[in-house]
Structure 1
Amino acid sequence: MYQLKGVTKRYMRGKNPVDALAGVDLTIEDGGRLVIQGPTGGGKSTLLQMLGGLDRPTAGTIELDGVDLARLPESRLTKVRAESIGFVFQSFNLIPTLTAQENVETALVPLGLGARNRRERAAEELESVGLGDRPNHLPSEMSGGQQQRVAIARALVKRPKVLLADEPTGNLDESMRDEIMDLLDGLWKEHGLTFVMVTHDSSLARKAPRVATIRKGKVTVTENAAA
């Protein structure tokens, strides 16, 4: 479970301080699904980075299973990210010179698994996202939707408890957007993931059970009974 209390992130814009997040309190239950929305530059990605331990708050606490990510030494924070948190990004972030199989395997290297174990788990994960027949394809040889499937496989191959997605359908057309969201929804349910997604797409937000809206650094959470 995530428990955020008084989370503030302050930047300097010239000589003026700007709060991207201002005293955010938020709870995300294990296995929950939350969509984050708000205006461009309004703190959505900042909040996601805090949840993933990619950035630290100026003030406040961000507890994951009782451990404050904001106070962990960098070595322990790196271990938490490697073992417990999967990331999916709008731009896929695949290594262009590596095959689909090799890109997925990269997530397992920090876990110290042997080469055979890495190959087997990566192959299984590619199969689970519908790319079992494309392990040797480079990113340039795949469509945007296929590249995002590889990125999802890479996020989940380490079997994390948390999946964080930053505009995962932002570079996809409408039909491919729906395919990727159906895949993510299925994997969320299958693996019991805690799933947090940033999106500007209101049609996706309406399908989520909870929506956190950020405005002027403040977060308002609404429950969607129809989801």
Structure 2
Amino acid sequence: MYELRGVTKQYQRGKETVDALRGVDLTVEDGGRLVIQGPTGGGKSTLLQMLGGLDRPTAGSVVLDGVDLATLSETKLTKVRSEKIGIIFQAFNLIPTLNAQENVETALVPLGLKAAERRERAAEALTSVGLGERLGHLPSEMSGGQQQRVAIARALVKNPKVLLADEPTGNLDESMRDEIMDVLEGLWREHGLTFIMVTHDSTLAKAAPRLATIRKGRITVTENAHAAL
């Protein structure tokens, strides 16, 4: 379970102090699904970075399973990210010189697994997202939707507890958006993941069972009793 209390993040922009997050309180239960929406610059991606241990708050606590990520050493924080948190980005972030299977394997290197186990798990992860026949293809040989599926497999191959997605459909057309969301929602149900997604897409936001809206660093959470679960 995530518990955020009083999370504030300030940046310096020249002589000006920018408040990206202002005293955010948020709880996300294990297996929960939350969509984060708001205007550009409102703090959405900053909040996701806090949840993923990619940045630290200026003040407040970001507690995952009883451990405050904000106070961990870099070594311990890296271990938590490697074992518990999978992250998907809008830009895919695949290594262009590695094929699909090799890209997915990169997520397992920090876990110290043997090469044979890495290959096997990467192949299984790609098969689970419908790319079992594309293991040897480079990113340049795949469509945008296929590349995002590789990125999803890479995030899930380490069997994380949490899946974070930052605009995962932002570079895709509407039909591919729906296809990728079907994959993500299917994996959320199958694996019991805690799934948190940032999106500008109001269609996706309206379909979410729980919506967090951020404006000027402040958060409002609403429940949608009519969302499809």
- The verdict on a shared fold, with TM-score over 0.5 as the criterion, is yes
Q: CA deviation at 1:14?
A: 2.0
Q: What's 1:123 paired with?
A: 123
Q: What's 1:155 paired with?
A: 155
Offset from partner CA, 1:124-172 (integer Å, 9 cap, x none): 1110000000000000000000000000000000000000000000000
CA distance in 2, matches of 1:154, 1:57: 27
TM-score with structure 2 setting the length:
0.98
Q: What's 1:209 paired with?
A: 209
CA distance in 2, matches of 1:181, 1:30: 20
CA distance in 1, matches of 2:24, 2:183: 30
Q: CA deviation at 1:13?
A: 2.1
SS in 2 for 1:185: helix
CA distance in 1, matches of 2:218, 2:149: 33
Asked if the contact 2:9/2:22 (under 8 Å) is kept, the reply is yes
RMSD of Structure 2 on Structure 1 (CA) = 0.5
Q: CA deviation at 1:12?
A: 1.5
Asked if the contact 2:166/2:198 (under 8 Å) is kept, the reply is yes
Q: What's 1:6 paired with?
A: 6
Q: What's 1:35 paired with?
A: 35
Moved over 6 A (4+): none
Q: What's 1:220 paired with?
A: 220
Q: CA deviation at 1:101?
A: 0.4
CA distance in 2, matches of 1:149, 1:217: 31
CA distance in 2, matches of 1:154, 1:13: 34
Q: What's 1:196 paired with?
A: 196
Q: What's 2:56 paired with?
A: 56
Amino acid of the structure 2 residue aligned with 1:105: E
Asked if the contact 2:41/2:216 (under 8 Å) is kept, the reply is no
Offset from partner CA, 1:44-81 (integer Å, 9 cap, x none): 00000000000000000000001000000000000000
CA distance in 2, matches of 1:96, 1:56: 30
Q: Counterparts in 2 of 1:178-189, with a 5 A limit?
A: 178-189=178-189
SS in 1 for 2:149: helix
SS in 1 for 2:221: strand
Q: What's 2:26 paired with?
A: 26
| Runs of at least 5 residues in structure 1 that lack an aligned partner in the other structure | none
Q: What's 1:173 paired with?
A: 173
Q: What's 1:135 paired with?
A: 135
Amino acid of the structure 1 residue aligned with 2:205: A
SS in 1 for 2:98: coil
Amino acid of the structure 1 residue aligned with 2:186: G
CA distance in 2, matches of 1:168, 1:50: 18
Amino acid of the structure 1 residue aligned with 2:171: N
Q: CA deviation at 1:16?
A: 1.6
CA distance in 2, matches of 1:190, 1:4: 26
Q: CA deviation at 1:15?
A: 1.1
| Runs of at least 5 residues in structure 2 that lack an aligned partner in the other structure | none
Percent of aligned pairs with the same amino acid: 82
